[in-house]
Amino acid sequence: MARIAGVELNDGWRVIYALTRIKGIGWSLAGKITLTLKISEAKRVGELTTDDLSALSRELENYVIEGDLVRETRGNIQRLKVTGTYRGVRHQRGLPSRGQRTRTNARTKRGARKTVGAFKKEQLTKMQQQTKKEETK
């Protein structure tokens, strides 16, 4: 297994697919990288020479990938929050920031449903009994 940019790449994977396992590299960019390095897309990671692997590592240094990409994204969101922009406020509140509706849906962003202001009859009587006990003490 080859290790490129801190990611273990399986020897059986094709090079173009293996590159997409690196955060920040998609199919299009992986294709461009293999073209510039003149590596066949059909070639497997296990078939790459040490020269090919070092050339790949050097080429990947030109791109923002893995940890640097995560840090940059986190910094951008933090900047939006600090400046108080609308998008920053939406991030702070855990709501969608790209105009989606929130009256219904947005469950992924907002989390599980929370019932507000609605009690079943048994729960209501139980709570009333507890408050009466506390008042008598």
pLDDT tens-digit readout, 95-134: 999 999 888 888 888 888 877 777 677 887 888 888 887 7
Q: 2-63 adopts what CATH topology?
A: Helicase, Ruva Protein; domain 3 (1.10.8)
Indicate whether this model's pTM tops 0.75: no
CATH 1.10.8.50 location in the chain:
2-63
Distance CA 72, CA 65 (A): 10
Question: Which homologous superfamily does the CATH classification assign to the domain defined by 65-137?
Answer: Ribosomal protein S13/S18, C-terminal domain (4.10.910.10)
CATH 4.10.910.10 location in the chain:
65-137
Distance CA 114, CA 53 (A): 51
> Is residue 72 very low, low, confident or very high in pLDDT (cuts 50, 70, 90)?
very high
